[in-house]
Amino acid sequence: MPDTSSRTQHTGGRPTPEMSALLDRQVLEVATELFVEQGYAATSLEKIARVIGCSKATLYRRYSSKEDLFKAVVAERGRMLLDEAGAVEASSKDPLVATKEIALFFLDFMLRPETREAYRIVIGDGHRIPFIADEMMETIVEPFVATLSRLLKAAADAGRIESRDHEETTRVLMSFVIGWPLQNTMLGQNRMQDMDARKRFFDRAWDIFLSGICRREDA
C-alpha cells in the first residue's frame, strides 16, 4: 500500500493555488500506485481519496469517474515519454544517434512498473474502457511514432539509410526493441530487469535493425 505518512491531509476550506497543484500531483501519484498494486477493478475513487486524506467530493470535482482518472494516469505517463523524445530530437545533430537514444529510453520506460502495469490494464480491461486505448493511440503512440519517423526521414534524406515508409520502419524498430522484453516481463520472467542483460538485448536488436536499413556502404 502507498505510504500515507507523507501525504498532506486536506481538511476543507478554499485551497491556495500551491495546495491545489500539490493535491493534483498527489492524486496522480496515489492513483498510479494503487492501479499498479491492486489493479484497475480493485481501485476506486473512494479508496484513492482515503489514502490521500481528502474528501470524495474534492476528488470528484477533479475526476468524474475512475475511467477519467485512469485516463489522466495514462496521459501523465505519455507526457514523460513524449517530453523525453522531443528533447532528444530537438538537441540532436545526428538523427540515427537520436533514434537509438530514444529507442533505448523507450525500452527502459516501458519496463518501469508504473508504465508496464498501466499498459497491462489497457490491454486487460480494454473492453471496459475502450476510449482510453483509442485516446492513448491518438495522443501518445502516434506522436511518438511521428517523432521517430521524422528522425528516420532525416537519416534517409541524408543518404544514411534505406527507408521509404518511415512510419512502418519506426514500427519495426519499436517491435524489435520492446516486443520480447515486454512480453517476458509481463509474464513474470523478469530477465530484462538486469540492466546489463537489457543493454545487451537492446544493442543486438539495434544492430539487427540497423543492418536492415543502412545503405551498403554504411553497413
Q: What is the domain range of residue 200?
A: 66-213
pLDDT of residue 126: 74
Residue 119 lies in a domain: yes
Domain co-membership, 136 together with 106? yes
Count of structural domains, the chain: 2
Residue 9 lies in a domain: no
Q: How many CA atoms lie within 13 A of 166 on its CB side?
A: 19
Residue 2 lies in a domain: no
pTM for this predicted structure? 0.85
Residue 111 lies in a domain: yes
Residue 106, CA distances (Å) to 103, 148, 159, 192, 195 in order: 5, 11, 26, 14, 14
Residue 29 lies in a domain: yes
* Burial category of 190 from C-beta neighbours within 10 Å (exposed 0-12, middle 13-18, buried 19 and up): exposed
Domain co-membership, 55 together with 102? no
Domain co-membership, 147 together with 44? no
Domain co-membership, 70 together with 58? no
| Spatial separation of the C-alpha atoms in residues 63 and 76, rounded to whole Å | 14
Domain co-membership, 103 together with 148? yes
> What CATH number is given to the structural domain containing 106?
1.10.357.10
> What CATH number is given to the structural domain containing 38?
1.10.10.60
Contact between 174 and 106 under an 8 Å Cβ cutoff? The reply is yes
Residue 142 lies in a domain: yes
Domain co-membership, 106 together with 41? no
Domain co-membership, 50 together with 92? no
pLDDT mean values, one per 10 residues, the chain (219 residues): 48 70 92 92 93 91 92 94 97 96 97 91 82 91 97 96 96 96 90 92 96 72
Q: Is the dihedral of CA 21, 141, 117, 60 positive or negative?
A: positive
Domain co-membership, 115 together with 43? no
Residue 7 lies in a domain: no
Domain co-membership, 142 together with 173? yes
Residue 219 lies in a domain: no
Domain co-membership, 131 together with 153? yes
Domain co-membership, 193 together with 88? yes
